Each structure stands twice: as structure tokens, then as C-alpha cells.
Amino acid sequence: MTTFRRILVLGVLTLAAGLAANRINPRGIPWRLLFLTWAPGPNPAERVPAEDAYLQMMDQEILFIDVREEQAFGIDHISGATHMPFLELLRHPASLDSLDRNRAYILYDFEAESRIPEMALNLMKTRGFRNASVLSEGFAGWLERGFPREFGEAP
Amino acid sequence: MDRKFWLETILRWGFGLLLIYASWEKILNPLDFARAVENYRVVGYSLSLYTAAFLPVLEFLTGLLLLAGVWKDAASLVNLCLMAVFLILVAQAAIRGLDIECGCFGSGQSQAIGPLKLAENILYALLALLLWKRIEAPRRKRRGIFDL
């Protein structure tokens, strides 16, 4: 076998072993995430500016979903937000079934540029949530505007 | 057993052990490695995830092949490519003045990017080139052409 063919075989083995390793490893990258990264981002209508989100929050029309990790959420988060870490959502998408599909949701990460809420939004769409959107400015923008937050665990 | 044989064997085993050691932590904690890759600001979020999912496995398999002395030609060429890519990544980060951790051996053993890290990577790349030439030269002589 030529060097080139051997490298090809090594590449195929790498793909197979990489997928298997991430499947077996509880801290591995979920396969779903690898596919979700290529899904298109939300359309402009699915991006809610912080001011609009705040008004909807005051009218109790929406529920915030914080997709950050446990530690970040534990420090502070938007008042009344539900905690659903993105990686946990990927591993157990059925946990979304505990939410009311007729309600409106706004997902957020810390930074406005983060793609994680977009991917979580795509995941929610695949599970039948039609009224979910992403906080345009992220939690950082929310804090800059002085909108309400709470510390520690969610009630 | 001549000197050339021992030089090749030592380099092969050295890189084999190095690659397996470097890949292990990354295979166990791929998401931490993905963050380290993203910090280099060369690839975006998606590619950093793919890199973290597959690159450590490629390192591990290449390391195994080098240790076992199987498919030495392919393994030494992949090893050379890996070392060249790592060198380029570290060099561009140093030139751009990025204040980041290397992530070379996973998140457990963070090393800052600096002149020492750059020198280390240059050394690895040169040794990888030497190993590849040691393995490839007799094959080329025998075949008359490079069979890539």
C-alpha cells in the first residue's frame, strides 16, 4: 500500500474512532452539536433586543432560558430565568418536554456573539417550539442596561 | 544495528510517546480543547469543535503507529504535518501577541505562548522532519520515486 493510501486509511480510522470516543466519553462532544454548528442562525425576527425583552418580561409574556454552564449561572442571571445548560440540552433534549410549547422563550448566553443560544434555539425548533428567540445583546448587554438580575440559584 | 537505526528508533518512540501523552487529556476533555483551539483565532466555533473531536484521535493513532513501527512512512509524514501545523499556530499567536495558553497537552497542563514555546515547537518540527527523512530516504532509494 502506498503512503497516500495509508494516510487515507488513517484518516478514516480517525473519523470512526473520534466519533466513537466522543460517544463513549460522558464529557465528549455530542454528535448532535457537530451537526447543529452548521445549521443556519436565527432570522432577524428571532432576535429580540434587550429593551423589548425587558418589556415582555415585565408583562410576564416570556420566560428566559439561560444556556450557560452551572458556575456562570450560579454567579448571576436574568431574574426568573430557567437554567438549561446547552451541553445538558444536547445530551438530554427530552428535558425540553418539561416546558410549555405554547409559551414564548428567550435564550441567552453571556456574550452577544455567542452561537450557543442559536444552536439551542435550533434544537428547540426540532422539538416543536415555535415561539422561541435569542436575546440579541446577550447577558452582557442586559447588565449594561441595568436590567434586573438575581444572584445564586434560580428560585 | 547501526547508528541510523537507533536514531530513527529513538525519534519514533519519542514522538510516539509524546503524541499519545499529548492526546490523552484532549480526548478526555474535548470541549476544553475546543476552547483552547478557538483562542488561537484561526478557526471559528464550528471548526474548533471538529478539531477537538478528531485531532487528538489522529495524534493518538499516529503515536501508536510510530511506537509499534507499523506504517512508519505514513505515520512519520502525518507526524511531520502535525508538528508543522502546531508550529504555525504557535508562531502566528506569538506574532499577533495573543495572551493565550498553548493547549498543546490539554487543559490540565497549560503553558503560555512565548519564545520558549516557540523554540520548543521549532525543535519538534525539525526532529519530525529528521525522522521522516530517515524513514523515507531508504524507501525512495529503493523505489526510485517518491510514491505519494
DSSP-H helix ranges across B29-114: 30-39, 45-68, 72-95
Contacts of A35 in chain B (CB under 8 A): none
The nearest alpha carbon in chain A to B53 belongs to: A18
Disruptive mutation site among A1, A3, A12, A119 for chain B (greatest number of B CBs within 10 Å): A3
Give residue-wise pLDDT tens across range A48-95.
999 999 999 988 889 999 999 888 999 999 999 999 998 888 888 888
CA distance B56 to chain A (A): 8
Specify whether the CB–CB gap between B43 and B51 falls below 8 A: yes
A152 phi/psi in degrees, rounded to 5: 75, -165
Domain boundaries, chain B: 23-137
The nearest alpha carbon in chain B to A116 belongs to: B45
Strands A47-48 and A76-78, bridge-based pairing = unpaired
Buried b (16+ CB within 10 A) or exposed e, A116-140: bbbbbbbbbeeeebeebbbbbbbbe
Give residue-wise pLDDT tens across range A101-154.
989 999 999 999 888 898 899 889 888 898 999 999 999 999 999 999 998 764
CA distance B63 to B69: 10
SS3 B70: coil
Residue B107's pLDDT is 64
Task: List the beta bridge partners of residue B101.
Answer: B112
Residue A17, chain B, CB below 8 Å: the answer is yes
Neighbouring CB atoms inside 10 A of B145's CB total 7
Say how many CA atoms lie within 13 Å of B74 toward its Cβ: 20
Residue A94 C-alpha cell reads as 427530552
Nearest alpha carbon to residue B29 among B88, B83, B110, B118: B110
pLDDT at B83 over 70: yes
Nearest alpha carbon to residue A106 among A135, A71, A137: A135
CA distance B62 to B26: 15
B122 or B109: whose pLDDT is higher?
Answer: B122
Residue B16 C-alpha cell reads as 510516539
All residues at 6 or more sequence positions from A155 whose CB lies less than 8 Å from its CB, including other chains: A80
Residue B144's pLDDT is 55
Give residue-wise pLDDT tens across range B14-70.
999 999 999 999 999 998 888 888 888 888 777 888 999 999 999 999 999 999 999
Residue A125's pLDDT is 87
CA distance A25 to A17: 12
Neighbouring CB atoms inside 10 A of A32's CB total 15
CA distance A9 to chain B (A): 10
Give residue-wise pLDDT tens across range A15-31.
999 999 999 998 888 88
Nearest alpha carbon to residue A151 among A73, A65, A66, A84: A73
Residue B110's pLDDT is 65
- A residues 29-68 lying closer than 8 A (beta carbon) to B: 29, 33-34, 37-38
